Amino acid sequence: MSNEIQSKGNVLAIEVRRCLHRARPGRSFIAMTVAAAGLQCAVPAAIAQTRPALEEIVVTATRRDQTVQEIPFNISAVSGETLERANINDSIEALRTMAGVTVQDRGFRNSGVTNGIVIRGINVDSGTNGDVPLAAPPTVSTYVDDTALFGNFVLKDIARIEVLRGPQGTLYGSGSLAGNVRYIMNRPDPKDFEGSASVNFGVTDGSDGYNFNPDLMLNVPLTETAAFRINAGMIDNDGIVDYPNVYRTDANGDPVVNGDVLTALPEYRRVNDVDSVDIKYARAALRFEPSENFSAQLSYQWQDDEVGGRRQVTRGEDLVNGGQYDDYEFGAVQLEPAEREVQLAALELEVGLGFATLTSSTSYYEHTGSGISDNSGVYARNGWFAFYGSSPRPIAQAERFYDDTAFAQEFRLVSQGGEFIDWTAGLFYVDQDYDLGQNSFLVGYIPFLDALNWYGLAPYSTNQDFLFRRNQAYEEIALFGEATINFTDALHLTLGGRYFDNSVDVDAVVDVPIYSSPSSPPGTASEKIDDDGFLFKANFAWDVTDDTMLYATYSQGYRHAGANAVPTTGKYAENPDYFTFDSDSVDNFEIGYKGVTDRVTFAASLYYTDWQDPQLNTATSNWGFFAAINGESARTQGIEVELSGAITDSLTYSVGYTYADAELTDNVYQPAGNFYGGPLFTDKVAADGDRLPGTAKHVFNVAFGYDMTFANGIAMSAVLSGYYQSDVLNSIGDDNCLTSFTASGNCRDSANPASATYAPDSIFSRSYAEIDSFQLWNLSTTFSRDDWGVSLYVKNLFNDEGTTGAFPFLAGGSNTAPSQNYFGNNSRDFLALPRTVGMAISYSF
């Protein structure tokens, strides 16, 4: 199809949709298209000569087929064709094309642990988090098709991505505070056998190797009513980050000792391109659709990751080699590999009942993973190596692991639409077991401790100085639904609600095996929390004209409570206030205006979100156990604007802008004290009016597309896209110490009134950092003819550093004091992908 014919077809479709919209706004697109021949709609004959093509994406966010412009709340969608055209094959890059969404990009090393998605600034967590599963659930829920997703996948063969801003607990079983992200996959098609094969080669700045991503898709009709579809591939990327100061180790993995075990200094080696990526993935789906009133789809998704390290760099002075760390160097003294395996099986059924459509999603999910982290800088900055004799070869290794399984069932009953009252009702059930743990080792310390005879306890039998296990069972059942009253063709009122009942049961064990004895047994704790409640939604929509809509929404969101289950008695006791954390909730207010003109589709919204008892993932004051606490309150408010259109038949554009003003509206206090039976008190860690971390006030995204066809039948499509975010804060708190500093640079303050360094108003945080603004520009040009395509692309065209989070020096850097002897450096900045130049070749059949 030529560009001219395609342009006319797109514009004709828009005019038909406008006519149908005037006839019955609530009716589904499929039903209305079938009925179009019977409607008296006049479409101007010369429309294609006067209007360039405008793309409209049909979405199913409300469980009915509608365009983005017809849905009376803030939603964005990007089609799989648009992503392919821009050579976008990463969910982080895809989400950056939508206003109001930011992503804390930590590379593949951490993508499986946290989703990192922030919508409308609903985030309190520090940029240092993300290396382990967090106690508090994410603020944004994710779906694949109609199945709730609890882990992250590489997603290929995508039909579209939908982003719904604001709480969606009355429409979706998996509720959320900030919004939902849905990945809609291409369905098996019984009409035609088809397939595609592609291979992507690239080179990333800083790497001595290359990136290799082959991918294959097959769609196989089995009968006239059944089909099978499979997509499989791999990501094999060489790393970009070099470790110049890794300890040399012996056959046992201990630092080599040349000389006296009590005084010999470490020997170092350099390891390049550490953060290599080896990911294998596959998704298979079998679909059976014997009639218009019944369909069944069974899908299975699998992924296996082996990642050599994080995409991170250390800034500042290299104390081992002298000078400064280079652009892509990290100062750890040991390697930090990680691996994980995740799989999701889902059965989705759809049954037409005449008056309504019943859908069912039954899924089972397994996610296991482990990783090594160099905690030496954390120990050194806290002065902990002195507790173990101050070895000249200090090394602290953390082995973290998790095992997450979940069974979920979601039913939805959706009326046909187009009536005076349209409605949706659903039932959601989830049963999730979430286990995690950590083993920490002082690698190579046994010979040192035996020679030192520390505390007269030689010979030592273990170098394990920390053991943590946390097992959580979560169960929830929820009833949810909405009803829309269509007073006229132009006035609509939607009322929704959600009732939920959940329970969290947590058990934990904490030990310091190197010091274990009958007088200091492991610490244990357990707790169960039951909670229930009701959420409400109201939405009013007015079709101002046939092509524009004004809407206002009030909606409530919720995250469940939990138990940290850290020990509150015994040698390793924490303040009892850490034992549990409460649920948090939001009241979201929004007003928006959206529509389409001859040349532009547009959407603009104003929002205000009141956040009560915000959950903050943190670490306990004494022993650094993973835990969550509650603040008092916060709020976010802002503006979101999206524009898209066609300048000519060949040149299109899209623009998005977000202003997000997100701040605390009360002080945040963290439980403290109870160290070896000492007093209990609270520590002020953030102040009323502080900005929320990880949230840029200004985010801007833009894309230009240009298409043309040459005389020899070769088509060209070029896309230039840009993303800009303003500066962000890495954590709550600040970098202002109100007392004094120790020689190592750590702030000496205390929330204990009996302490000589008592500073009740101090909110100093070692994790605090101001992260600069950055911009990322991508360029992709695709040439295609018949079934072949060749794409040439550049990611991060100007090679901006793009820091998305940090682990500052004071949290885990060097410490050359004689009691610590640590010359490595674990401070880090997480980077966006550096400039990557590549070529993708594809063949469709």
**What is the pLDDT averaged over residues 350-376?**
94
The DSSP secondary structure of 624-653, one letter per residue, reads: --EEEEE-SEEEEEEEEEEEEEESSSSEEE
Reported as a single tens digit per residue, the pLDDT across 721-776 is 999 999 999 999 999 989 887 767 788 888 888 888 899 999 999 999 999 999 99
> What is the Cα–Cα distance from 377 to 821, expressed in whole angstroms?
11
Reported as a single tens digit per residue, the pLDDT across 219-271 is 999 999 999 999 999 999 999 999 999 999 999 999 999 999 999 999 999 99
CA atoms within 13 A on the CB side of 371: 29
% of the chain residues with pLDDT over 70? 91
Residue 581 token pair: 């954390």
Reported as a single tens digit per residue, the pLDDT across 765-806 is 999 999 999 999 999 999 999 999 999 999 999 999 899 889
Instruction: List, in order, residues 6 or more apart from 44 with CB less than 8 Å away.
Output: 15, 50
By CB atoms closer than 10 A (0-12, 13-18, 19+), residue 660 is: buried
Reported as a single tens digit per residue, the pLDDT across 687-727 is 999 999 989 999 999 999 999 999 889 999 999 999 999 99
In angstroms and rounded to an integer, the radius of gyration of the C-alpha atoms of the chain is 28
Per-residue pLDDT at 130: 62
CA atoms within 13 A on the CB side of 679: 9
Whether the per-residue pLDDT at 74 is higher than 90: the answer is no
* Angle 827-830-832 from CA coordinates, rounded to 5°: 155
**What is the pLDDT averaged over residues 86-106?**
82
* Span of 33-37, 273-277, 351-355, 684-688 with lowest mean pLDDT: 33-37
> What is the Cα–Cα distance from 275 to 238, expressed in whole angstroms?
7
End-to-end Cα, the chain, rounded Å: 17
Per-residue pLDDT at 520: 75
Confidence bin at 132 (pLDDT 50/70/90): low
Per-residue pLDDT at 8: 36
Instruction: List, in order, residues 6 or more apart from 500 with CB less than 8 Å away.
Output: 169, 175, 476, 477, 478, 479, 531, 532, 533, 534, 535, 558
The pair phi, psi for residue 842, each rounded to 5°, is -130, 150
Rounded to two decimals, the pTM is: 0.88
**What is the pLDDT averaged over residues 574-603?**
92
- CB contact at 8 A, 611 and 663: no
- CB contact at 8 A, 678 and 110: no
- CA distances in angstroms from 494 to 21, 161, 366, listed in the order given: 18, 24, 37
CA atoms within 13 A on the CB side of 341: 0
- β-strand pairing of 584-596 with 548-559: antiparallel
The pair phi, psi for residue 634, each rounded to 5°, is -155, 170
> What is the Cα–Cα distance from 424 to 169, expressed in whole angstroms?
12
**What is the pLDDT averaged over residues 486-504?**
96
Among 72-86, 571-585, 686-700, 743-757, which range has the highest average pLDDT? 686-700
Distance from CA of residue 742 to its chain's centroid? 37
- What average pLDDT does the structure give for the chain? 88
508: left (phi > 0), else alpha (psi -120 to 50), else beta?
Answer: beta
- CA distances in angstroms from 337 to 259, 278, 399, 734, 829, listed in the order given: 30, 11, 10, 32, 18
Per-residue pLDDT at 623: 78
**What is the pLDDT averaged over residues 117-125?**
88
